[in-house]
Amino acid sequence: MALPPQVTPRAFARLAEINTGAAAPRALRVAVEGGGCSGFQYDLKLEEAAAEDDLILEGQGQRVLIDPVSLPFLENATIDFTDELIGARFVVQNPNASASCGCGISFSM
């Protein structure tokens, strides 16, 4: 059964840190686009407002936005934040991806 994506408490906490002191807190938009070395790629960016048809995931006073075109690609996925030797970044753990490249941004289905 398809479930909407989940956002970890760690990802919401990092988004809250980013928004600390901001006059207008921004939401994290997670989108899927064609391209990348594996066929699809994630596009993560901060946005001030949600679109009318966005799925809005909320936690810790923060919001993550997903557009309806990207949603089927992100079913059952987990949006997390990781801080490793290679860098700190938001990551998408996607069980629908059959393969992904080393950068973690590109995947195929």
Q: Does domain 6-108 have CATH number 3.30.9.10?
A: no
Say if strands 27-34 and 62-66 run parallel, antiparallel, or are unpaired: parallel
Domain assignments of the chain as residue spans, ordered by start: 6-108
Give the pLDDT mean for 36-65. 90
Instruction: Give the bridge partners for 40, in sequence order.
Output: 34, 107
Say if strands 78-84 and 27-34 run parallel, antiparallel, or are unpaired: unpaired
pLDDT at 74 over 60: yes
pLDDT at residue 86, as a whole number: 77
pLDDT at residue 94, as a whole number: 86
Instruction: pLDDT band for 95, please (50, 70, 90 cuts).
Output: confident
> Could you tell me the sign of the dihedral formed by the alpha carbons of 95, 6, 29, 50, in that order?
positive
pLDDT at 20 over 50: yes
pLDDT at residue 108, as a whole number: 47
